[in-house]
């Protein structure tokens, strides 16, 4: 990798690389951002290219990965798409939607991506970096790498690791996960595969997820430092705090653990699940257990079934049919169960879906429509243009309150004119953002296009009390801790643990 171009910044950029995916790069960047912000600096998170369907929409309507939005919160900054200039949103069959600086610019196969998008991608990454520096030349970039920086079959076309590190002449941290085993081989193998000028950029090593007595690894720490001549900045214990996951596989690792939970909620785990950070406010409610459902089963044990967002709505309807969940959800509704769909989940609850541009399915439906679950009298048509914007509205149900969130969808849903609409009502004062059918003696069926709906504390409280009332248990008087305050406390606790165990300041200058 030959480089002549460089971007000079006033403050040394910090880049977090990993020995592999999932070693803790994202939470390391989150912690560093909060630590530096508390020290009076102006950290700005950055990840040149991210692959995720867990997205956020910024104030300009631009899409970005939720992990960079969370890092922006840690920096006490408003998330902006230049913090994640390339977002790849997988949609199955080895294809992804390409998002550049918040805007959808096309679809690519994995095989063709680097051939057709590499040069443009690098220009977009540089543009994102320059936009950040133009806003505040005194900021310090805190950059997250992706996967491993030494995937030798891909390194010549790697956009988001060493190319960025060299461009910024960043001080790099290498994170290794001891819980996976083979931590010495992880570190030595990664360093050995770096070129000499690349290895010089590595200024420190972090050992993540250590369990037990930290002093037992002191000899291991000395061995690593003697062998690599690079300081071990610290050893981070395994954290028990729950953090928003970066990819959907992490959802399956969570098991119900609250013995005194009053409500059991089942979440349908679609193959193309998206925007699952919508559920984090529920994860942090002491009175709730979340259970992930992906196989056909009797759902009657749950007080609520949630159909979350989907990147491929029609494809996931086929999954529901094949798994048996399609009929299970219908039977659950007949038994007076409570159901909530979010975005793609809302669309699935309707009667018909049409996809003339093949935006949400893997095969064209130009000649007709596909049947949805049929619990709401809705027809959805997927349009060529995508809606991405922030939302502020007022809810009519289950309470009157101000609602904030965002939309990401192609589909437009309408009530079917020939259906009996007497029992269907709008959830929000702004039209076509959500509908519900509710009976005090029976279950409720609701769906909304608003992502982040559960972050609205008053709405969440009243919705949970609706469920509690139907179950015949005492209502909650209030939400004990607003979600945003709880999220701040989690980030603060993460930063505290890092400050306790990791010497970050040694590489700042």
**Catalytic residue ranges:** 343, 451
How many other C-beta atoms lie within 10 A of the C-beta of residue 113? Answer: 18
Q: Residue 244 in contact with residue 70, Cβ under 8 Å?
A: yes
Please report the sign of the dihedral spanned by the C-alpha atoms of residue 144, residue 45, residue 239, residue 172: positive
Q: Residue 37 in contact with residue 43, Cβ under 8 Å?
A: yes
What gap in Å lies between CA 304 and CA 64, rounded to an integer? 30
What gap in Å lies between CA 285 and CA 289, rounded to an integer? 8
What gap in Å lies between CA 498 and CA 416, rounded to an integer? 54
What gap in Å lies between CA 59 and CA 64, rounded to an integer? 11
Helix, coil or strand: residue 82: helix
Q: What is the 3-state secondary structure (H, E, C) of 364-428?
A: CCCCCCEECCCCCCEEEEEEEEEEEEEEEEEECCCCCEEEEEEEEEEEEEEECCCCCCCCCEECE
The pair phi, psi for residue 65, each rounded to 5°, is: -70, 140
What gap in Å lies between CA 491 and CA 34, rounded to an integer? 7
């Amino acid at each position: 990798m030959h480089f002549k171009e460089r971007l000079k910044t006033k403050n040394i950029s910090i880049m977090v690389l990993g020995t592999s995916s999932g070693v803790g790069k994202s939470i390391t960047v989150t912690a560093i951002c909060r630590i530096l912000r508390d020290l009076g600096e102006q950290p700005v998170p950055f990840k040149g290219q991210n692959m995720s369907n867990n997205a956020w929409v910024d104030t300009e309507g631009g899409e970005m990965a939720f992990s960079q939005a969370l890092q922006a919160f840690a920096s006490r900054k408003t998330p902006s798409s230049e913090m994640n200039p390339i977002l790849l949103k997988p949609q199955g069959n080895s294809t992804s939607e390409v998002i550049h600086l918040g805007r959808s610019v096309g679809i690519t196969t994995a095989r063709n991506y680097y051939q057709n998008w590499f040069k443009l991608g690098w220009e977009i990454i540089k543009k994102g970096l320059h936009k950040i520096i133009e806003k505040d030349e005194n900021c310090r970039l805190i950059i997250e790498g992706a996967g491993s920086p030494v995937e030798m079959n891909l390194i010549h076309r790697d956009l988001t690791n060493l190319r960025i590190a060299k461009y910024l002449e960043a001080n790099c941290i290498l994170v290794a996960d001891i819980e996976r085993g083979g931590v010495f081989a992880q570190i030595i193998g990664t360093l050995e595969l770096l070129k000499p000028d690349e290895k010089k950029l590595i200024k420190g090593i972090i050992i993540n997820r250590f369990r037990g007595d930290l002093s037992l690894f002191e000899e291991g720490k000395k061995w690593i430092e003697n062998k690599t001549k690079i300081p071990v900045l610290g050893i981070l214990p395994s954290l028990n705090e729950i953090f928003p996951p970066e990819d959907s596989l992490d959802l399956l690792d969570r098991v119900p653990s609250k013995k005194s939970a009053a409500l059991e909620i089942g979440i349908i785990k679609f193959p193309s699940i998206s925007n699952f950070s919508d559920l984090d406010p529920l994860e942090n409610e002491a009175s709730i257990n979340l259970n992930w459902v992906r196989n056909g089963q009797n759902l009657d044990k749950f007080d609520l079934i949630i159909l979350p967002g989907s990147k491929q709505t029609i494809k996931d309807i086929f999954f529901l049919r094949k798994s048996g969940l399609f009929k299970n959800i219908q039977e659950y509704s007949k038994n007076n169960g409570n159901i909530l769909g979010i975005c793609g989940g809302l669309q699935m609850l309707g009667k018909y879906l049409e996809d003339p541009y093949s935006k949400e399915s893997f095969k064209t439906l130009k000649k007709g429509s596909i049947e949805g679950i049929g619990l709401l009298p809705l027809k959805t048509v997927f349009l060529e243009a995508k809606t991405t914007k922030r939302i502020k509205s007022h809810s009519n149900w289950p309470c009157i309150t101000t609602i904030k969130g965002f939309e990401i969808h192609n589909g437009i849903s309408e009530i079917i004119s020939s259906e009996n609409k007497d029992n269907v009502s709008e959830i929000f004062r702004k039209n076509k953002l959500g509908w519900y059918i509710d009976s005090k003696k029976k279950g409720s069926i609701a769906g909304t296009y608003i992502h982040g709906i559960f972050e609205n504390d008053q709405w969440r409280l009243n919705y949970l009390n609706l469920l509690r009332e139907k179950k015949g248990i005492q209502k909650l008087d209030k939400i004990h801790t607003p979600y945003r305050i709880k999220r701040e406390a989690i980030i603060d606790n993460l930063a505290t643990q890092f400050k306790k165990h990791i010497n970050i300041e040694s590489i700042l200058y």
